[in-house]
Structure 1
Amino acid sequence: MNVCVTTPETGPAPRAGGPQAPAAAPAGGTRSRRGEPRTYDFRRPTKLSREHVRVMQIAQESFARQATTILTTFLRTGARMELRSIEQFSYDDYVHTLPDPIFITTFTLEPLAGKGMIAYPLDIAMAIVDHMLGGSGAAAQPARPMTAMETTITTHLLERLLHEFAASFAGITQLQPAMTGFEYNPQLAQAASGSDTVMVANFAMAVGSREGEATLVLPFSSFAQSLNNAASPQLSESALRKRKKAAEALAARLNLVPVDVSVRFAPLSVSSADLLSLAVGDVLLLRHPRDSPLEVTTNDVTFAYAIASNHRRRLAASIVPTPHAAVKDTA
């Protein structure tokens, strides 16, 4: 059973594997806007949990920052990579969202199984080569496969990006990515089987005046265990002891922190007119019942009750049980 669902989240709902993207993706190969219905296949439930997305987001944002630095340094022009969303697709559904032609590079994920894939618009790929050869990148770029020289130039840049990719994911798992080739037709990339679940990170990419969308694709099955470990790390006995000791030390220090405490009568409400008309010598009736205790407060929070008293000729407050009315109001 396939149904269309929407989510109130800030980004699109993660999608389970299955035939869904062709129905949801608008013409032109771009993904649907936020808030639009997405087809969800209940026979293939979502595998990418919120915890997984949180862990992936930290790593992908780190990669985006480093990629921005590398692109700006290599190209000597304004460049930007900014994470937009992380989604789950079946590989076939993801491929159907890509335009043809598009620049694609695949890479291994040693020691993990499977392949990763980076894809971004072909005109941006050609403009990058133009910049690295000293051009402005502003001229119209050819929509064709790269020559051997262009491929060599691009390989140097992508190797640096993959190095930063591995460094950004070091908190999840150790990787030694290595490029396996380039492709320009999404149907021929063959980075995964059609039904395999993949994690797709969408980036806003800009090089000079050119803007587009870049995607980084990773196989979910290869990262599943590492994501589970990163989302719920298992601490050693030594680490647990250190954490417990730190918590006890924190609690002990917090008990010594001085806190301002006030003893006050019940609050009094007056109209704005009466407040503005107050003059020296006026008297305000507090209307505090004689048999009602005073409130003991800190930071406007009442935490106890007391009655006026004295201690060694000094004014004092004697703490008393909480009045029944106050307990009832709290409940």
Structure 2
Amino acid sequence: MTAVVRDDPLRRYPAYDFRRPAQLGREHARHLEAAFETFARQWASHLTAKVRMRTHLVPRGVEVVSYQEYADTLPATTAMVAGSTADREEPCVMQIGLDDALMWVVQMLGGRTAAPIEPRPLTPIESALILQLMQEGFALLSTCLGSLLPGPVTYSGLHYTPQYLQVISPGEAVIVARFDLRVGESRSTTTVMLPTAVVVDQLAETDRGAAAAPRRGRAADHVQRTPLDVTLRVTPRVIAAGEVLDLAPGDLLRFAHPETTPLEFVVGTTPVARAVAGAQGSRLACTITAIPEETRR
């Protein structure tokens, strides 16, 4: 006897966790990954020139998580350089380890780091050097992400404790890109955090523009293929109703249209050009002689 296996929808479809933010679509995720790969190459080259040590930055992936989940993966104390775009309050964050930041300062000032540096808050001079470096990083990020952001990202603050970054709520969805950072012999992880609301709005705008382009092309194609009635018209003449009632076959009506004056080329009821009458073989034809400037507009 064969056992009957019943289809269980609960096994076919995994439960959706409403506490977690929605994920990005496949095409959107690829778009972001490509932009962050470009950023990694350019930022690594820029750091190599500034820090004067060979720098490698390798993307590890892009994910959508809540800010609390993101903060839980970071050290208790780290350098979080926050930036913002025009007309948006949500922050963008470039995060680096404090030991990396201090090593960069030593290298930029001409020193050498033979031993690991103990992480600590930056002094005002160290902060100024790091912030200048990170502002250049924001400029590269803005260029690489392009239309994924509503505008350039500019510096707005430096924070040391992810759990107390007050500019964003713990449950808000954020896009996190993680990178493996290698400077000389030092290896660490750095991250870039973007507010999901800002990026998704820009992706939706891009999708609408991409969808609208074919529609505009189809609309233009339909307009160009629409049949229209065209007429050659002489200067009109006003006659009385009695003359019209008295018309009979063979009557001749004279129009005050000089022989040398072009005719009006009319589409529907709108004059669009001037033309002279002619012939093409055995068929009547006209030659366009002028198109008024207002018609071109």
**TM norm structure 2:** 0.63
Bigger drift between 231-240 and 73-82 goes to 231-240
> Which secondary structure does the structure 2 equivalent of 1:171 belong to?
helix
Gap regions ≥5 residues in structure 2: 1-14, 222-297
Gap regions ≥5 residues in structure 1: 1-38, 246-331
Q: What is the Cα deviation at residue 109 of structure 1?
A: 1.9
- Map of 1:152 onto structure 2: 128
Q: Does 1:121 align with 2:84?
A: no
Give 2:77's match in structure 1, choosing from 85, 101, 107.
101
Q: What is the Cα deviation at residue 231 of structure 1?
A: 5.1
Q: Which whole-Å CA distance do the structure 1 matches of 2:120 and 2:95 have between them?
A: 15
Q: Does 1:175 align with 2:148?
A: no
CA contact (8 A) 2:86 2:151 kept: yes
Q: Which whole-Å CA distance do the structure 2 matches of 1:70 and 1:239 have between them?
A: 42
Q: Does 1:223 align with 2:199?
A: yes
Q: Which whole-Å CA distance do the structure 2 matches of 1:83 and 1:172 have between them?
A: 18
Give 2:58's match in structure 1, choosing from 79, 82, 97.
82
Aligned amino acid, residue 65 of structure 1: R
The within-5 A match list for 1:19-168 is: 41-42=17-18, 44=20, 46-168=22-144
| CA distance 1:231–1:81, shift in 2 (3 Å) | farther
Q: How much identity, in percent, do the aligned residues show?
A: 29
Aligned amino acid, residue 60 of structure 1: F
| CA distance 1:218–1:162, shift in 2 (3 Å) | same
Larger Rg, first or second structure (1 or 2): 2
Aligned amino acid, residue 228 of structure 1: A
Q: Which whole-Å CA distance do the structure 1 matches of 2:213 and 2:121 have between them?
A: 56
CA contact (8 A) 2:150 2:202 kept: no
Q: What is the Cα deviation at residue 142 of structure 1?
A: 2.9
Question: For residues 271-297 of structure 1, what are the alpha-carbon distances to aligned partners after superposition, in whole Å with 9 as ceiling and x for unaligned?
Answer: xxxxxxxxxxxxxxxxxxxxxxxxxxx
| CA distance 1:235–1:85, shift in 2 (3 Å) | same
CA contact (8 A) 2:135 2:155 kept: yes
Q: What is the Cα deviation at residue 87 of structure 1?
A: 0.7
**TM norm structure 1:** 0.57
CA contact (8 A) 2:85 2:150 kept: no
> Which secondary structure does the structure 2 equivalent of 1:195 belong to?
coil
Question: For residues 213-241 of structure 1, what are the alpha-carbon distances to aligned partners after superposition, in whole Å with 9 as ceiling and x for unaligned?
Answer: 11100110112121223356425558964
Q: What is the Cα deviation at residue 209 of structure 1?
A: 1.1
Q: Does 1:205 align with 2:189?
A: no
RMSD: 2.5
CA contact (8 A) 1:121 1:214 kept: yes
Q: Which whole-Å CA distance do the structure 2 matches of 1:182 and 1:96 have between them?
A: 19
> Which secondary structure does the structure 2 equivalent of 1:168 belong to?
helix
Question: For residues 19-38 of structure 1, what are the alpha-carbon distances to aligned partners after superposition, in whole Å with 9 as ceiling and x for unaligned?
Answer: xxxxxxxxxxxxxxxxxxxx
Aligned amino acid, residue 169 of structure 1: L
- Map of 2:166 onto structure 1: 190
Q: What is the Cα deviation at residue 112 of structure 1?
A: 3.2
